[in-house]
C-alpha cells in the first residue's frame, strides 16, 4: 500500500542541503518571533500583577512527574515519527 | 546543594532526555528487529558479526542505524549544552558553596602542582565540555548530565553502581578503603554504608570534582577523605588499604595507564586485600549488535580508550601485578530493566586479591 502510493520514494533526494537549511533557518526565525511575542505577553501579565513565578521556579526532571513525562514522550514521538518508522 | 534548574531550562533538558529515551526505547528495538531479520535471511558467520568492518558495511547505510547514531550524538551534545546553560544561572552561588569548607568527618587535600596526564588534558570524556577539570562547575555538571545521559535509570541517589559492587564484595575485615577516580563520589556511598567502621578515601585528578565530592559528602554525612592524586602514582604507603575499588575508571585511560594503576593498587593493598574493578561488560559477552553499538562510543562519545580497554586481558594484568584474579558480574538497574541504546547488560567486576604473606 505504501509503495503503491509512492510513499517510499525519496522525494527530496535531489533537493540541495542549502535549501533545506534555508527552510530550517526560516523555521528558527519564526520560533524566535514567537518567543519574542511570548516575552511581551509575560510582560503584560506581569504589569497586571499576575504572578509569573511558576514560569521560573526550580523543578525536578520530567521523569518524576507523570503528566509532564507523558506529554514529553508523546511530543518526541510525534516530531520524530517519520525517522522512527522509515519503512512503514 | 540544590541542583534543580529553572523550569525553562529543565523543559529543554527534559526534551533532550526524551530524545535519548526515544532512541533507546523505539529506534533501537526496531533496528534490532531489522538486523535479526536480515541475519535470518543472510546467515552471516559469528566471525563476520564480530568484525566491526563487516558490521559497518552491513549497517552503515541503514536509515534506522544512521538516525539512531545521529540522534544519539546530537542529544549528547545538546544535553551538556542545556545542563551548562541551566547551572550557569546559579554559578556564583554554587561556587560560593564549593569554596566554603564546612566542618565534616572527612577531609580534602588538593595538590595544585599535580600535572594532568596528556591523555586526560586532551579529552572531553562523554563529550563533557571542559572535561572534569577545566570548569569549576564540573561536578554539578557531571551529576546533572549523567542523570540525563542514563535516563534517570541510576535512581534518584545515582548510586546503583555502588550497590552493585557491594552485592559482590567478598567478606573481609576492611579497615581502610580506597575509591580510585572517585569523581563526585556519590557512587561510593553504598560502600560507606556497607562498611561503616572502615576509613574511606577517594582520589581523583580533578580539583573541581574533589571540591564537589567533599561538599556533597559533608551534606550527606558520608565521612570520606578526598585527595587530589594520580592513581598511576599514588603517595599512599605500601600495604595501606584492605579494599581498593574503581567504577568505570579503567576504560577512560590508555592501556599503559591501566597497567600502572593496577600495579599501584597492588602496591597499596595489604596482604589479603581486594582490588575490585566494576565495568561495563566485555564485547564478547554481549550479542554482536550490542557489542558493535557499544564500540561506537570510542569514536563518537568521548571514550577514546574504550575499545583498547575491552580488547585487553585485565585479569592477566592483575596476575602480572601478583594478584589472584577472577571475573564476576553484578546486576545493573540501568542496563537490566529497559536497556540502554546498546541493549541490556550486567556489570562485570574484575576481582583481585593480594596473597597473604
**B45-76 tens-digit pLDDT:** 999 999 999 999 999 988 889 889 989 999 99
Residue B8 has pLDDT above 80, yes or no: yes
pLDDT in tens, B169-200: 999 999 999 999 999 999 999 999 999 999 99
Name the percent of chain B lying above pLDDT 70.
Answer: 97
* Cα nearest neighbour of A52 on chain B: B7
- Check B26 against A84: CB less than 8 A apart: yes
Rounded distance, CA B5 to CA B87, Å? 6
Q: Residues with Cβ < 8 Å from B20, sequence gap 6 or more?
A: B72, B75, B79, B148, B149, B151, B341
Using an 8 Å CB-CB cutoff, list chain B residues near A75.
15, 18
Residue B139 exposure: Cα atoms within 13 Å on the Cβ side? 29
In which band, very low, low, confident or very high, does the pLDDT at B144 lie, cut at 50, 70 and 90?
very high
Any B CB within 8 A of A81 CB: no
Rounded distance, CA B3 to CA A45, Å? 29
pTM of the full structure: 0.91
Residue B99 has pLDDT above 90, yes or no: yes
Grid cell, residue B110, equals 588538593
Any B CB within 8 A of A1 CB: no
Crossing angle of the two packed helices B138-149 and B207-219, in degrees rounded to 10 = 80
pLDDT in tens, A42-64: 999 999 999 888 888 999 999 99
B275 contacts B269 by C-beta, under 8 angstroms? yes
Any A CB within 8 A of B62 CB: no
* Helices of type H across B50-178: 52-59, 63-88, 91-98, 118-121, 138-149, 160-168
Domains of chain A: which residue ranges?
A: 17-84
Mean pLDDT of B31-46: 95
* Cα nearest neighbour of A65 on chain B: B14
* pLDDT score of B315: 98
Interface mutation target, options B9, B18, B29, B59, chain A, most CBs of A under 10 Å = B18
The dihedrals phi and psi of B242, each to the nearest 5 degrees, come to -95, -20
CB-count burial class (<10 Å; 0-12, 13-18, 19+) for A65: middle
- Smallest CA–CA distance, residue A73 to chain B, in Å, is 6
Q: Which residue has the higher pLDDT, A79 or B352?
A: B352
Residue A2 has pLDDT above 60, yes or no: no
Q: Which of A82, A3, A86, A25 is nearest to B61 (CA)?
A: A86
Mean pLDDT of B3-16: 92
- Check B13 against A58: CB less than 8 A apart: no
**Residue contacts between A and B (CB atoms, under 8 Å):** 68
What is the domain-level CATH number for residue B189? 3.40.50.150
Any A CB within 8 A of B197 CB: no
B216 contacts B165 by C-beta, under 8 angstroms? no
In which band, very low, low, confident or very high, does the pLDDT at B148 lie, cut at 50, 70 and 90?
very high
Any A CB within 8 A of B3 CB: no
Residue A69 has pLDDT above 90, yes or no: yes
Q: What is the dihedral of CA B109, B111, B114, B117, to 10 degrees?
A: 40
* pLDDT score of B124: 96
Grid cell, residue B96, equals 560560593
Total number of domains in chain B: 1
- Check B27 against A63: CB less than 8 A apart: no
Crossing angle of the two packed helices B63-88 and B91-98, in degrees rounded to 10 = 70
* pLDDT score of B343: 64
Mean pLDDT of B319-330: 97
Using left for φ > 0, alpha for ψ between -120 and 50, and beta otherwise, residue B131 falls in: left
- Check B7 against A76: CB less than 8 A apart: no
* Cα nearest neighbour of B34 on chain A: A87
- Structural domain boundaries, residue B323: 1-357
Any A CB within 8 A of B284 CB: no
CA distances to B89, B138, B169 from B95, in Å: 12, 11, 36
In which band, very low, low, confident or very high, does the pLDDT at B338 lie, cut at 50, 70 and 90?
low
CA–CA–CA angle B297, B302, B305 (5° rounding):
75
Crossing angle of the two packed helices B7-22 and B138-149, in degrees rounded to 10 = 40
Residues 23-42 of B with CB under 8 A from A: 26-27, 30, 34
* pLDDT score of A8: 67
Give the best-scoring range by mean pLDDT among A79-88, B45-54, B67-76, B340-349: B45-54
Crossing angle of the two packed helices B63-88 and B7-22, in degrees rounded to 10 = 160
Rounded distance, CA B318 to CA B258, Å? 10
Rounded distance, CA B293 to CA B277, Å? 23
Give the one of B2, B7, B21 whose C-beta lies nearest to A73's C-beta.
B21
Residue A88 has pLDDT above 60, yes or no: no
Any B CB within 8 A of A84 CB: yes
Distance linking the first and last C-alpha atoms of chain A: 10
In which band, very low, low, confident or very high, does the pLDDT at A27 lie, cut at 50, 70 and 90?
confident
State the CB neighbour count (10 A cutoff) for residue B226. Answer: 25
* pLDDT score of A1: 43
Residue showing cell 554539578? B140
* pLDDT score of A5: 67
Using left for φ > 0, alpha for ψ between -120 and 50, and beta otherwise, residue A18 falls in: alpha
B134-148, B215-229, B333-347: which has the minimum mean pLDDT? B333-347
- Check B64 against A63: CB less than 8 A apart: no
Using an 8 Å CB-CB cutoff, list chain B residues near A80.
19, 22, 71
- Check B4 against A85: CB less than 8 A apart: no
Q: Residues with Cβ < 8 Å from A62, sequence gap 6 or more?
A: A68, A69, A72, B10, B14, B17, B18
Q: Which residue has the higher pLDDT, A28 or B301?
A: B301
Mean pLDDT of B149-160: 88
In which band, very low, low, confident or very high, does the pLDDT at A66 lie, cut at 50, 70 and 90?
very high
Interface mutation target, options A80, A87, A88, chain B, most CBs of B under 10 Å = A80
Any B CB within 8 A of A83 CB: yes
Mean of the per-residue pLDDT values for chain B?
Answer: 94
Amino acid at each position: 500500500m505504501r509503495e503503491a502510493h509512492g510513499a517510499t520514494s525519496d522525494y527530496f533526494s535531489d533537493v540541495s542541503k542549502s535549501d533545506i537549511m534555508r527552510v530550517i533557518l526560516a523555521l528558527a526565525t519564526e520560533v524566535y518571533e514567537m518567543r519574542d511575542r511570548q516575552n511581551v505577553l509575560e510582560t503584560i501579565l506581569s504589569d497586571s500583577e499576575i504572578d509569573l513565578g511558576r514560569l521560573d521556579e526550580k523543578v525536578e526532571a520530567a521523569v518524576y512527574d507523570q503528566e509532564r513525562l507523558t506529554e514529553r514522550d508523546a511530543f518526541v514521538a510525534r516530531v520524530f515519527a517519520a525517522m522512527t518508522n522509515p519503512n512503514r | 546543594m540544590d541542583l534543580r534548574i529553572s523550569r525553562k531550562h529543565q523543559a529543554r533538558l527534559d526534551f533532550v532526555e526524551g530524545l535519548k529515551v526515544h532512541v533507546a526505547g523505539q529506534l533501537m528495538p526496531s533496528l534490532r528487529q531489522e538486523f535479526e531479520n536480515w541475519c535470518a535471511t543472510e546467515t552471516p558467520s559469528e566471525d563476520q558479526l564480530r568484525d566491526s568492518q563487516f558490521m559497518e558495511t552491513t549497517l552503515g547505510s541503514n536509515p534506522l542505524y544512521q538516525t539512531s547514531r545521529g540522534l544519539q550524538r546530537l542529544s549528547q551534545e545538546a544535553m551538556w549544552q542545556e545542563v551548562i546553560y541551566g547551572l550557569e544561572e546559579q554559578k556564583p552561588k554554587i561556587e560560593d558553596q564549593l569554596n566554603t569548607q564546612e566542618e565534616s568527618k572527612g577531609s580534602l587535600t588538593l595538590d595544585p602542582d599535580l600535572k594532568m596526564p596528556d591523555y586526560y588534558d586532551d579529552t572531553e570524556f562523554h563529550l563533557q565540555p571542559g572535561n572534569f577539570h577545566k570548569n569549576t562547575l564540573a561536578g554539578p555538571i557531571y551529576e546533572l548530565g549523567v542523570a540525563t545521559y542514563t535516563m534517570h535509570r541510576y535512581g534518584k541517589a545515582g548510586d546503583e553502581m555502588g550497590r552493585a559492587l557491594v552485592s559482590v564484595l567478598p567478606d573481609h575485615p576492611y579497615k581502610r578503603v580506597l575509591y580510585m577516580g572517585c569523581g563526585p563520589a556519590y557512587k561510593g556511598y553504598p560502600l560507606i554504608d556497607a562498611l561503616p567502621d572502615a576509613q574511606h578515601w577517594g582520589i581523583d585528578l580533578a580539583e573541581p570534582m574533589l571540591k564537589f565530592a567533599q561538599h556533597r559528602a559533608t551534606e550527606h554525612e558520608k565521612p570520606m577523605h578526598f585527595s587530589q592524586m594520580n592513581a598511576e602514582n599514588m603517595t599512599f604507603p605500601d600495604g595501606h588499604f584492605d579494599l581498593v575499588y574503581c567504577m568505570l575508571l579503567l576504560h577512560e585511560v590508555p592501556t599503559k595507564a591501566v597497567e600502572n594503576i593496577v600495579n599501584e593498587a597492588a602496591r597499596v593493598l595489604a596482604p589479603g586485600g581486594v582490588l575490585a574493578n566494576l565495568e561495563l561488560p566485555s564485547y564478547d559477552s554481549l550479542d554482536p549488535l550490542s557489542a558493535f553499538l557499544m564500540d561506537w562510543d570510542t569514536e563518537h562519545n568521548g571514550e577514546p580508550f574504550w575499545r583498547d580497554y575491552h580488547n585487553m586481558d585485565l585479569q592477566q594484568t592483575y596476575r602480572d601485578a601478583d594478584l589472584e584474579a577472577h571475573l564476576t558480574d553484578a546486576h545493573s538497574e540501568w542496563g537490566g530493566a529497559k536497556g540502554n541504546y546498546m541493549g541490556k547488560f550486567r556489570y562485570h567486576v574484575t576481582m583481585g586479591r593480594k596473597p597473604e604473606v
